[in-house]
Amino acid sequence: MPLPDISANDADFHTDPYSFYARLRAKGPVHRVEVTAEYTPTFLVVGYDEARRALGHPALAKDWSSGEILPGIAVTEANRNMLESDPPQHTRLRRLVAREFTARRIEAMRPRVQRTTDDLLDAMAARPQRTADLVKALAFPLPMTVICELLGVPHLDRERFGYWSKEVVAPTSATPNTTAHQKLGEYLAELVGAKAEEPGEDLLSALIRTRDEDGDALSSGELIGMAFLLLVAGHETTANLISNGTRALLAHPDQLAALRADWDGLLDGAVEEMLRYDGPVQNATYRYAREDMELGGTTIPAGATVLVSLAGADRDPERFGTPDTFDIRRAPQGHLAFGHGMHFCIGAPLARMEGRIALRGLLERFPDLAEDPAGGPPDHFGGSLIRGVTRLPVRW
C-alpha cells in the first residue's frame, strides 16, 4: 500500500487538507508519510494529544545544522535562530530575546498598527471599481509594515524582502534550495552591521545592545538568525490569519452577523476560533528523532523526521466538539495554531493584536464585503508548511 504523499502539489489537497487529515486520524494519530527523498522516513502527527506531546518531546530535536540530519543542505546565518535550536542554546537565545520583545514594546505598537490599518483601508475605499485583492491590499502589507518598523528594516527593501520570505515558507520549487535563505542572510548581515554602527529605537538595535546578568549577548550570527525568524514568522503568519479569518467569516454569514452585533464581546474569541479552524501554519517545522521512540502507538526510529500537523490536531473531535464547524462562541483555548511548549510563538501577542485590529477595521469599513467571484477562485499556497491563499479577490 503506497504511503500518503503530502509533497505533491495537489490542488484538491491544498484547497481542503482537513478531509485528508481526518481520514488519516480515523486510522490512528500518527502515520508514516511521503514528503521528499531528503526527509525519509517522515511521520505525520494528526491527533491532538499526540501533537501536543510531540511539540514538547525531549527526544525530538529541532537543530539540523550538524549536517548529519539533512546532508547536502547548506546552513546559513539565517538558520541560527530559536526555532532551529535545542536547549541549552534555545533557552539562552529565548531568554535574551524576551528581555526586549516585551508586552510593553508590543502594546506600544498598537497606535501604529491602527494607523497603518486605517491608511490601507482608506486606499481600498478609494478604488473606483470597489474590488481588490485583499492579500495585496491589507493582509500582506499590514504585518509587513509592522514587523519591518519593529525591526527597523528600511521601507524600500520590503518588497524584495517579501519575495525572499515567500520562497522560504512556500518555495515555488520542490527541490531544496537555499538561495532565498542566503539572500536574506546577506541582507540581514548588512542591516545588523548598520544598526551596530548607528543604533535606533527599534527591536533589532535593542537586541544588539541587550546583555543578561552574566554579560551574555547575541553574536552577530545569532542576531542575523533572530532577525530572520522574527521577520519571516512575524508577517507570514499574521497575513494568513487575516486572509483565512476573513474567508471563514464571509463563508459563515451567521457568525459574521453575530460578531458585528457584539464586537467587544466576541472579537477575541472569534480570532481564536479563526486560528483553530483555519490557522496560518498547517504543519510545524520538522523535528528529528534523537532515538527510537513511541508516539500514539507508532514506533518512530532514530533519525526519522516528524511533522506535527497543527491543522490536523486542531480539528481533532476528541479535543474539539464538531471540529469542522466554525463557531466564534466556542471556547477554543488550547488550540495549537501558535505551537506549544518551548517553541511556542514568541510573537503570538503581536499577531493577535494585528488580527483583531485589521479584521474589525475591515468589516466595519465595508459592511457588504464579499468574495468576488469575478476575480476567480483563491490560490492556495503549495507545500506543507503554510496554510493560506496567495490572492483573495473581494468586492464591496
pLDDT for 337 beyond 90: yes
As a whole number of angstroms, the distance between CA 195 and CA 205 comes to: 6
Q: Closest Cα partner for 168 from 279, 142, 176?
A: 176
Percentage of the chain lying above the pLDDT 90 cut: 55
Higher pLDDT, 52 or 169: 52
Name residue, grid cell 499556497. 381
Kindly report the average pLDDT of the chain as a whole number. 87
Which neighbouring-strand residues pair with 380? Answer: 389
CA dist 126 and 337 (Å) reads: 35
The CA distance from 268 to 259, in Å, is 10
d(CA 208, CA 84): 20
CATH code 1.10.630.10 for 11-395: yes
* pLDDT value at residue 64: 77
Cα separation of 91 and 343, whole Å? 10
- Grid coordinates given for 362: 475591515
Scanning the structure block, which residue is given the C-alpha cell 535545542?
86
Closest CA to 241 of 52, 344, 387, 390: 387
Q: Answer for the pair 216, 97: CB distance below 8 angstroms, yes or no.
A: no
Q: In sequence order, what E strands does 14-89 have?
A: 30-33, 42-45, 60-61
Instruction: In whole angstroms, give the CA distance from residue 140 to residue 38.
Output: 31
* Res. 345: pLDDT tops 70: yes
Provide the grid cell at 79.
538558520
Q: Please give the residue that has the higher pLDDT: either 28 or 6.
A: 28
Residue 383, φ and ψ in degrees, nearest 5: 80, 175
pLDDT at residue 8, as a whole number: 57
Q: How is residue 198 written as a grid cell?
A: 548607528
For 236, the 3-state DSSP assignment is helix
Q: In what order do the strands lie in the sheet with 370-371?
A: 131-133, 393-395, 370-371
Tens digits of residue pLDDT in 179-216: 777 777 788 888 888 888 888 888 889 888 887 667 88
